[in-house]
Homo-oligomer: A and B are copies of this chain.
Amino acid sequence: MYTFTEENYLKAIYHLSENTKKGAATNAIAERLNTKAASVTDMLKKLSDKKLLVYKKYQGVNLTDLGKTVAIKTVRKHRLWEVFLVNKLEFGWEEVHEIAEQLEHIQSTKLTDKLDEFLAFPKYDPHGDPIPNKDLVFPNRTDQTLTECSLNDIVIVKGVKDTSADFLNYLKKLNLGLGEELEILEKEDYDNSMKVKINGGSLLNLSHQVCANLFVITK
C-alpha cells in the first residue's frame, strides 16, 4: 500500500508531533531521516497530495487521520518485531532497533496480528514503549506495571494487579500505597528485582513479584 519511504516519513512526523502541538518542522524531519531539507520538502508535497498530511509552505506539517493511522500501524509493527527479537530470538535490547526498522515495513496485516498473538499480546516493547493493539489503541497507562518501567523513571503507584490480602498486607508493611512516588534506582538483571526510592526519601528493594503486581503511571 505505502512505500518503505512513505512509512518512514509518516513515522518520523508522528514521533515529532507526539509531544508538541505544533506541526513538525522540515529541518527536524530531515535530521530524523538523515536526509536533506530539500528532499523533505519534495516528499511533503507528495504526501500532501496523497492526503496523508496537511502541508502549508513554511508552516510545518501535521498528519491527517489517515496519515496517523499509517504511522501508528508502522509503530505497532516496529515494536512487535522488537519484542520478537528480544523475547524469542534472544537479541539484546540494544541491537534490535536497526533490524526492526526493516521489519516494520513488511506488508501483511495478518502477519502482524499473528505475531502479536504469538508474543501473547505484549503491551510494551523491550524499551518500555507502548504497543498499540490491533485496533491501534495504545495500552492504558494504568495497565503498566512497575516491571515494564525503565531505569530512572519516576512513577506513581496507581493500583495493584494482585488484589489478594497477602499482597496488600505486604504492601502496608512496606509503607507502599496508592499515590506514592517511586524512582527506579536500579534494575537487577539477575532476579528482576528493583531498588526504588519512595517519595524522594527511603530506599526499598522490591522483588519481581511485587513489581509485576503494581500498576503505575510514568510521571
A85 interface hit (Cβ, 8 Å): yes
A88 interface hit (Cβ, 8 Å): yes
Contact flags A96-126 to B (C-beta < 8 A → 1, else 0): 0011001100111011001100100000000
Q: A85-B111, A111-B85 are in contact. Are A102 and B106 (CB under 8 A)?
A: yes
* CB-based contact A90/B106 at 8 Å: no
A165 interface hit (Cβ, 8 Å): no
Which residues from B are CB-within-8-Å of A110? Answer: 91, 95
* CB-based contact B91/A114 at 8 Å: yes
* CB-based contact B108/A106 at 8 Å: no
Most B-side CB within 10 Å, residue of A85, A102, A111:
A111
**Count the A residues whose beta carbon is within 8 Å of the partner chain — how many?**
18
Closest chain B residue, CB of each to CB of A90: B114
A89 interface hit (Cβ, 8 Å): yes
Which residues from B are CB-within-8-Å of A115? Answer: 89
**A87 to chain B: closest CB distance in Å?**
11
The distance in angstroms between the C-alpha atoms of A103 and B112, with both chains bound, is 13
The distance in angstroms between the C-alpha atoms of A90 and B116, with both chains bound, is 13
Q: A89-B111, A98-B108, A102-B108 are in contact. List 11 more A-B contacts (CB 8 A).
A: A88-B118, A89-B114, A89-B115, A89-B118, A91-B114, A95-B110, A99-B106, A99-B108, A102-B107, A103-B103, A103-B106
Which residues from B are CB-within-8-Å of A107? Answer: 102
